[in-house]
Amino acid sequence: MERCVGTSVPRLDGFAKVTGRTKYIDDMDIPACWFAAAVRSPIPYGKIKSITFDPKFDWTKVATCTAKDIPGKNAAIFMLEDQPILASEFVRHVGEAVAVIAAPTKELAIEAVGHVKVEYEELTPVFTIEESKALKNVIYGNDNIISKYKIEKGDIEAGFKEADLVVEGEYRTGFHEHAYIEPQGVAAIPREDGGLTVVGSLQCPYYVLKTLKAVLNMDETKVNVVQAPMGGAFGGKEDYPSIMGSYVALLALKAKKPVKMVYSRDEDILVTTKRHPSIVRHRTGVKRDGTVTAMQVDVEFNGGAYSTLSQVVLARGILHSAGVYKCENILCRAACYATNNVPTGAFRGFGAPQTLFAVESHMDMVAAKVGIDPMTLRLKNCVKLRDSLCTGQVMRESVSAEECLTAATKSSHFLKKWYQYKDQLGSARQLPSPLMGEGQGEGGSPPPLPPNNRRTGKGGGDQGKEHIRRGIGLALYMHGGAFTGSGEAIMKTEAALRLNKNGTVSVLTGCTEMGQGAHTVLPQIAADALGIPFEFVNTAVPDTAMVPDSGPTVASRTTMVIGRTIEKCAAKFKTELEKFVKSSPKLAKAPFGEVAKAYFEAKGELKVIERYELPSWVRWDAENFRGDAYPAYSWACDVAEVEVDTETFEVNVEKMTIAFDPGKAVNPVLLEGQMEGGTLQALGFGLMEEMVYKGGRPLNSRLQTYIIPTVQDTPSFQVHIVENPVSHGPQGAKGIGELPVDGGAPAIANAIYNAIGVRMTDLPITAEKLYENSLSPKGRGSG
């Protein structure tokens, strides 16, 4: 039988989505449904003095809920339980909900919100990492620190002694909004048995269930959570639906009606999590030959008002902060600080895009100081088989940094272009001054520029393009798949296969489809493991009443972890069916569908549940961050080719060449889609996307003002798949959900440096910032 893994079968959810038939939560027509709205804090930090319901309003027409109406715990159940569902004593960020109201119409719910008066005693807020760290005001615990970690490898002081040069740098990133197409939405529907079904646009049904059980004081026999089709999530629907799901559940119980809540874009942007802003400082010792002898990295994240998932985001951040390098002497320190901003949380990449931007920008600066090219420096220092990363984790298999670097640089003719574009600067490295209107810098005339091949609409022809400088830059990076260390073993991840009456087989998993293709890829893996055609396999709707707890759909874990568990299920499942066929010889030659139907008729439903097993070699010391941080790493190299307009300082990314190792390409088309989509997201992070706040209030809470890349900004992509299988993944597959967001920004920043000699250390690299930096000598590179 031909294998299904490795072929690009169309997405099972694709047809309904592209033809507009899919019903998202906002489309779902729930009979007699009420709508909810929230009373939100207008201030970033304060004590709640009183909540008054206007006696002139008819409150009998609506249902209301404040903290004191919560039957169970008033907390979202994440790692820490520091975030209330509804604020009771303090508000800690603008937009925090103090009360929620449901009414038969949205308009009435919004009107009722206007009749709730909350009095606050305003307190002094803290907004930045610097203010929080300096304890300008203690707003969280006794030191404002949500969490901190340290990694030590070798002897950092000895490493600096060995070095001929020490290179320092500081790198910053800002608030980054998920901008999923579908805003957050969820509904609660009372069940006939007095229980409640919560359905919505959510990544992790079992996370929502955990919070609902605590908040409602109910057990899983009384409440179930169902994932509705989802219009994107990117990590943004990992934690927040637990809070929003609690709003509608509480109101549905009070109103005894179904209650739905779907955010408008600005409400969504106001209250849902963002990517952590970061400051990362590097101090690197290097020998004249380019050998890196010491890496000291200090990571600081802005955690916002509550922890959400900051502890694990910071862990992933620090674990990727020394990048792909085998350096023998490493010291990394990381801390996440609380502020009175909207909480920051999970966002595709989960801390790694920030720290990888820093290290991959910094490595270019190290190369420049040493006087070698960025590719050679990386070739010399990246891990190969049996080398170790910063936690001392020895690379035992499937390590492809070198192969990805080689593939991407060869395909893009990196070195040749890099030297050519570097030389266009001339020795004085001077830019044409936009203020003086000069045509050229003084460093000698640049070589003729390559033909201009911009897409129409973005530029003109070749004439008068002296102000366009080209540049090429690269980033080499990895992403750890699955939960950190022993996380996957502690979580007791389960998945199942079920034989259905109609002769098909369903994958039963709590893992969700959010556009990444999981609900197609898992059936592909199941089909091969069962030895049956793909058309017999599907994925059941994730409903906590029906599917086992497979852990959250996060951390680039689904393909490898759930895929492997499904393979285990399939082995037993197949044996059971084979036994059945042996007992009824007339089925010996029958096609699978008939065997399956006959089985169902004779013996009823067949369901096999299995638990994921971590490879036995994984050893993780969570106390000291030593050992096997992840059971597998995916690897990639991005090469960005840019044009910088030295009059307008706009950056146009012409081309991205990406070579990456997913272990095994389960579905090559979906895989390339992931890499291209994620890289475009990284381009947005690198060049244009930034939430701007004033006094804790967003100034750009719409997609008109929060600018994300569109098809106009999309470069041409050249994607190369390198397959280095991992022995404990399904047919060798590793995860790549987050990998694509990790490398684009530093590759682009490095290409800008190659083009105009200006080192940008602060994302996003807007035209304004690039202009300012090109004027100040500080921003100018010295390499």
**Which residues of this chain interact with ligand MOS, rule CB under 6 A?**
203, 235, 238, 346-348, 350, 554-555
CA distance 126 to 141: 14
Beta-sheet pairing, 697-698 with 693-694: antiparallel
The CB density around residue 671, as the number of other CB atoms within 10 Å, is 23
* Nearest distance in Å: CB 528, ligand MOS: 27
* Nearest distance in Å: CB 377, ligand MOS: 30
DSSP state of 228: P
* Nearest distance in Å: CB 532, ligand MOS: 32
Q: In a 10 Å sphere around its CB, with 0-12 CB exposed, 13-18 middle and 19+ buried, how is residue 617 labelled?
A: exposed
State which residue, 190 or 487, has the beta carbon closest to ligand MOS. Answer: 487
The answer to whether the CB of 530 falls within 8 A of the CB of 567 is: no
* Nearest distance in Å: CB 208, ligand MOS: 14
* Nearest distance in Å: CB 425, ligand MOS: 38
Closest CA to 362 of 348, 341, 381: 381
**Edge to edge, what strands does the sheet with 468-481 contain?**
468-481, 632-645, 651-661, 716-721
State which residue, 346 or 499, has the beta carbon closest to ligand MOS. Answer: 346
State CA 457 to chain mean position distance. 32
State which residue, 340 or 512, has the beta carbon closest to ligand MOS. Answer: 512
State which residue, 135 or 490, has the beta carbon closest to ligand MOS. Answer: 490
State which residue, 203 or 524, has the beta carbon closest to ligand MOS. Answer: 203
State which residue, 374 or 551, has the beta carbon closest to ligand MOS. Answer: 551
Structure tokens that stand for 399 in this block: 């390590």
State which residue, 182 or 645, has the beta carbon closest to ligand MOS. Answer: 182
**Secondary structure (H, E, C), 535-552:** HHEEECCCECCCCCCCCC
CA distance 209 to 189: 14
The answer to whether the CB of 410 falls within 8 A of the CB of 403 is: no
State which residue, 482 or 596, has the beta carbon closest to ligand MOS. Answer: 482
Phi, psi of 249 (to 5 degrees): -65, -45
State which residue, 224 or 558, has the beta carbon closest to ligand MOS. Answer: 558
Q: 36 by DSSP, 3-state: which? A: strand
CB pairs under 8 A, 24+ apart, for 368-374?
A: 368/781, 368/782, 368/783, 369/165, 369/167, 369/286, 369/782, 369/783, 370/165, 370/286, 370/288, 370/290, 371/783, 372/290, 373/415, 373/418, 373/419, 374/418, 374/473, 374/474, 374/750
State which residue, 554 or 659, has the beta carbon closest to ligand MOS. Answer: 554
* Nearest distance in Å: CB 741, ligand MOS: 9
* Nearest distance in Å: CB 235, ligand MOS: 3
State which residue, 238 or 690, has the beta carbon closest to ligand MOS. Answer: 238
State which residue, 207 or 635, has the beta carbon closest to ligand MOS. Answer: 207
The answer to whether the CB of 534 falls within 8 A of the CB of 523 is: yes
Beta carbons within 8 Å of 296's beta carbon, 6+ residues apart: 156, 282, 283, 284, 330, 331, 332
State which residue, 62 or 346, has the beta carbon closest to ligand MOS. Answer: 346
The answer to whether the CB of 346 falls within 8 A of the CB of 273 is: yes
CA distance 255 to 101: 10
CA distance 24 to 690: 28
* Nearest distance in Å: CB 6, ligand MOS: 26
State which residue, 558 or 724, has the beta carbon closest to ligand MOS. Answer: 558
* Nearest distance in Å: CB 519, ligand MOS: 16
The answer to whether the CB of 749 falls within 8 A of the CB of 357 is: yes
The CB density around residue 149, as the number of other CB atoms within 10 Å, is 19
Name the residue number minimizing CB distance to ligand MOS. 235
Please name the residue that has the structure tokens 């008939």.
594
* Nearest distance in Å: CB 275, ligand MOS: 9
Structure tokens that stand for 53 in this block: 């319901």
* Nearest distance in Å: CB 207, ligand MOS: 10
Closest CA to 418 of 641, 257, 734: 641
The answer to whether the CB of 718 falls within 8 A of the CB of 390 is: no
* Nearest distance in Å: CB 727, ligand MOS: 24
* Nearest distance in Å: CB 579, ligand MOS: 40
Phi, psi of 463 (to 5 degrees): -70, 145
Closest CA to 555 of 341, 270, 726, 320: 320
Structure tokens that stand for 332 in this block: 């990394």
State which residue, 348 or 734, has the beta carbon closest to ligand MOS. Answer: 348
* Nearest distance in Å: CB 697, ligand MOS: 25
Structure tokens that stand for 234 in this block: 């990117």
CA distance 399 to 326: 12
Phi, psi of 596 (to 5 degrees): -65, -45
State which residue, 334 or 555, has the beta carbon closest to ligand MOS. Answer: 555
The answer to whether the CB of 217 falls within 8 A of the CB of 273 is: no
Phi, psi of 644 (to 5 degrees): -110, 125
* Nearest distance in Å: CB 84, ligand MOS: 22
State which residue, 195 or 235, has the beta carbon closest to ligand MOS. Answer: 235
Residues facing residue 332 across a β-bridge = 151, 297
* Nearest distance in Å: CB 179, ligand MOS: 14
State which residue, 313 or 372, has the beta carbon closest to ligand MOS. Answer: 313
* Nearest distance in Å: CB 348, ligand MOS: 5
* Nearest distance in Å: CB 157, ligand MOS: 35
